[in-house]
Structure 1
Amino acid sequence: MSHVLVTCAGRRVSLVQGFVEAAHARGLKVLAADPDPLAPALVGVDQAVRVPPLADPDYLPTLLRVVREHGIGLVVPTIDTELPLLAQHVADLADAGATALVSSEGFVDICGDKALTAEAFAARGVDVPRSWLPDELTDDVLADLPDDLVVKPRNGSSSKDVHLVARDQVVQTVAVVPQPIVQERLTGPEVTVDALLDLEGRPLHYVPRTRIKTLGGESIQGVTLPHDELGPWIERVLAACSDLGARGPVTLQFFRTDRGPVLIEVNPRFGGGFPLTRAAGGDYPAWLLDELAGSAPTERFGDYRAGLYMTRHMVEHFTDTLRW
Structure 2
Amino acid sequence: MTTIAVTGAGAVLGQGIIKSLKSAGRDYRVLAFDPNPLSPGLYWGDSHGILPMANDPQYTAAVEAMLERDKPDAVLVGTDVELEIFAENRARWEERFATKIVVSPADIIRIADDKLETARWLEANGLPFPKSVAGEDRDGIEGLIADIGFPLVVKPRIGARAVGVSLAKDRAELDAALEGRDGLVIQQWAGPDDEEYTAGVLCFDGEVSAAIVLRRDLRDGNTFRAYADEYPDCDAYVRKVAAALQPYGPANLQFRRGPDGQFRLFEINARFSGTTPMRALLGFNEVDMVLGKLLFDEQVTQPPLNKGVVVRFLEEQLLPREAAASAQAAA
Q: Settle same-fold status: TM greater than 0.5.
A: yes
Cα separation, 2, equivalents of 1:239 and 1:159: 26
Q: Does 1:321 align with 2:326?
A: no
Cα separation, 2, equivalents of 1:213 and 1:153: 18
Deviation at 1:21, TM superposition (A): 4.4
Cα separation, 2, equivalents of 1:225 and 1:297: 25
Q: Does 1:209 align with 2:214?
A: yes
Deviation at 1:49, TM superposition (A): 1.0
- Secondary structure (helix, strand or coil) at the match of 1:253 reads strand
Q: Is the 8 A contact 2:229 2:308 kept in 1?
A: yes
Cα separation, 1, equivalents of 2:291 and 2:134: 42
Kindly tell me: are residues 90 and 201 of structure 1, through their superposed partners in 2, closer, same or farther at Cα, counting changes over 3 Å?
farther
Q: 2:264 aligns with which of 262, 268, 271?
A: 262
Q: Does 1:195 align with 2:198?
A: no
Which is further off, 290-299 or 154-163?
Answer: 290-299
Deviation at 1:152, TM superposition (A): 0.8
Deviation at 1:74, TM superposition (A): 1.1
Kindly tell me: are residues 288 and 306 of structure 1, through their superposed partners in 2, closer, same or farther at Cα, counting changes over 3 Å?
same
Q: Name the aligned partner's letter for residue 106 of structure 2.
A: E
Which residue does 2:244 correspond to in 1? 240
Q: Does 1:224 align with 2:228?
A: yes
TM-score, normalized by length of structure 2? 0.88
Cα separation, 2, equivalents of 1:101 and 1:72: 12
- Secondary structure (helix, strand or coil) at the match of 2:268 reads strand
Cα separation, 1, equivalents of 2:296 and 2:51: 30
Q: Is the 8 A contact 2:212 2:235 kept in 1?
A: no
Cα separation, 2, equivalents of 1:30 and 1:143: 51
Which is further off, 98-107 or 224-233?
Answer: 224-233
Structure 1 residue runs of 5 or longer lacking an equivalent are none
Cα separation, 1, equivalents of 2:136 and 2:322: 54
Which residue does 1:160 correspond to in 2? 163
Q: Does 1:92 align with 2:92?
A: yes
Deviation at 1:48, TM superposition (A): 0.3
- Secondary structure (helix, strand or coil) at the match of 1:298 reads coil
Which residue does 1:150 correspond to in 2? 153
Q: Is the 8 A contact 1:203 1:299 kept in 2?
A: no
Q: Name the aligned partner's letter for residue 127 of structure 1.
A: P
Which is further off, 9-18 or 41-50?
Answer: 9-18
TM-score, normalized by length of structure 1? 0.90
Which residue does 1:173 correspond to in 2? 177
Cα separation, 1, equivalents of 2:323 and 2:145: 58
Which is further off, 103-112 or 162-171?
Answer: 162-171
Q: Name the aligned partner's letter for residue 210 of structure 1.
A: R
Kindly tell me: are residues 64 and 166 of structure 1, through their superposed partners in 2, closer, same or farther at Cα, counting changes over 3 Å?
same
User: Could you give the per-residue CA deviations for residues 249-303 of structure 1, whole angstroms, max 9, x where no partner exists?
Assistant: 2111000112321111100112112111111111222222221234242331x73
Cα separation, 2, equivalents of 1:49 and 1:140: 51
Cα separation, 2, equivalents of 1:89 and 1:201: 22
Kindly tell me: are residues 20 and 130 of structure 1, through their superposed partners in 2, closer, same or farther at Cα, counting changes over 3 Å?
same
Deviation at 1:43, TM superposition (A): 1.8
Matches within 5 A, 1:1-324: 3-11=3-11, 12-22=14-24, 25-26=26-27, 28-94=28-94, 95-138=96-139, 141=143, 144=146, 146-169=149-172, 170-188=174-192, 189-198=195-204, 200-214=205-219, 216-242=220-246, 246-257=247-258, 258-300=260-302, 303-322=304-323, 324=326
Deviation at 1:20, TM superposition (A): 3.5
Cα separation, 1, equivalents of 2:127 and 2:151: 22
User: Could you give the per-residue CA deviations for residues 297-316 of structure 1, whole angstroms, max 9, x where no partner exists?
Assistant: 2331x731233432322222
Cα separation, 2, equivalents of 1:171 and 1:273: 34
- Secondary structure (helix, strand or coil) at the match of 1:161 reads coil
User: Could you give the per-residue CA deviations for residues 64-104 of structure 1, whole angstroms, max 9, x where no partner exists?
Assistant: 11111111121111221111111111123212222221101
Structure 2 residue runs of 5 or longer lacking an equivalent are 327-331
Q: Is the 8 A contact 1:226 1:307 kept in 2?
A: no
How many residues align? The count is 316
| RMSD over aligned Cα atoms | 2.2
Q: Is the 8 A contact 1:132 1:182 kept in 2?
A: yes
Q: Name the aligned partner's letter for residue 167 of structure 2.
A: L
- Secondary structure (helix, strand or coil) at the match of 1:118 reads helix
Deviation at 1:172, TM superposition (A): 4.5
Cα separation, 2, equivalents of 1:172 and 1:320: 47
Deviation at 1:154, TM superposition (A): 0.7
User: Could you give the per-residue CA deviations for residues 44-67 of structure 1, whole angstroms, max 9, x where no partner exists?
Assistant: 311101111111111111111111
More helix by share: 2
Q: Name the aligned partner's letter for residue 190 of structure 1.
A: E
Kindly tell me: are residues 134 and 293 of structure 1, through their superposed partners in 2, closer, same or farther at Cα, counting changes over 3 Å?
closer
